[in-house]
Amino acid sequence: MISVTADVFRLAEVFTISRGSRTEARVLTVRVRRGAHEGRGECVPYARYGETIEGVQAQIEGLPAGITRTVLQGALPPGAARNAVDCALWDLEAKRAGRRAWALAGLPAPEPLITAYTLSLGTPAAMRAAAARHSHRPVLKIKLGTPDDMPRLEAVRAGAPRARIIVDANEGWDAEIYEDLAPHLVRLGVALVEQPLPAGADEMLSEIARPLPVCADESCHDRASLAGLAGKYDMVNIKLDKAGGLTEALALRDMAHAQGYGIMVGCMVGSSLAMAPAVLVGQGAAMVDLDGPLLLAEDRENPLHYDAGKVYPPDAALWG
């Protein structure tokens, strides 16, 4: 039996990016029960990809009760619906086998990962204060993509002079703006920039200088995306909700690595249940951004453990 419920998690504070602000994370929780065992997965439908809570829920409810992970890969396209069901099936398989999911996948036991922490978009003064509060963290991520990006970036660097910084432009720049900003990103020690140009309008990345690594986010969903990235990107950001689950995310990681791309593993704003399978994908990645639960005011039972800079592998009571 497959069941799906809509759940809401309050955020610790208003979270703002260039596309808007939110005060809560709306997720779908999938449960797959067979016999005495139940597996769980979570997804975050994302409007940028044409997804809604209602539409994704309908996709999941339309699946046959006995569907397998193998059949699922062709039954649904990459996206949030397939992700939640795929991860629930992994969890179910682990529980039925009495083994951890990584062992079933042929992977070594996962280690703790250094994760970025995302600062909400705000005034330069507010972002400097937030950076100072979190300056003990090894990696900070800032969401840009506005006409006032440089004062914000300068403020974050002033507030956290020793942290590594990731910049996510959220498709907010054009080639001219990026060429102008890139030397300043280098000067301020930015480690990488995510998706500076809109997906589908990023050809100029193959023609302009890339003085720091450029990571594909909205331009990279699953393995089929890789063919369109050559010469434009240095890294790919793998998210389970884009790839359509752990099964595809692991395959994408292996193919991208084989093609010479650096690996980043990211997330939507969701609970520990959504992050847990992504910890497996993040093993060995050059950059990890699995901070969703750190932005929440409430989380699942048996949540992931975070310390000042790391996220730890999930307990079996949570997932896998």
Catalogue the active-site residues.
143, 239
Residue 313 φ/ψ, nearest 5 degrees: -60, 155
C-beta neighbour count of 220 within 10 angstroms: 27
The residues, ordered by sequence, that sit 6+ positions from 221 with a Cβ below 8 Å of its Cβ are 78, 79, 242, 243, 244
DSSP run (H or E) holding 184: helix 175-187
Please identify which residue in the block is written with the tokens 């992050």: 275
The residues, ordered by sequence, that sit 6+ positions from 43 with a Cβ below 8 Å of its Cβ are 27, 28, 30, 56, 80, 81, 83, 84, 240, 241, 270, 274
Please give the C-alpha separations between residue 196 and each of 133, 146, 171, 231, 288, in angstroms, as whole numbers: 27, 11, 5, 15, 19
Annotate 232-245 with b (16+ C-beta within 10 A) or e (fewer).
Answer: bbbbbbbbbbbbbb
Please give the C-alpha separations between residue 93 and each of 88, 101, 153, in angstroms, as whole numbers: 9, 8, 45
Instruction: Give the 3-state secondary structure of residue 229.
Output: coil
DSSP run (H or E) holding 153: helix 149-159
Please identify which residue in the block is written with the tokens 């975050």: 44
Cα 43 to Cα 52: distance, rounded to the nearest angstrom: 11
The one-letter amino acid code at 104 reads L
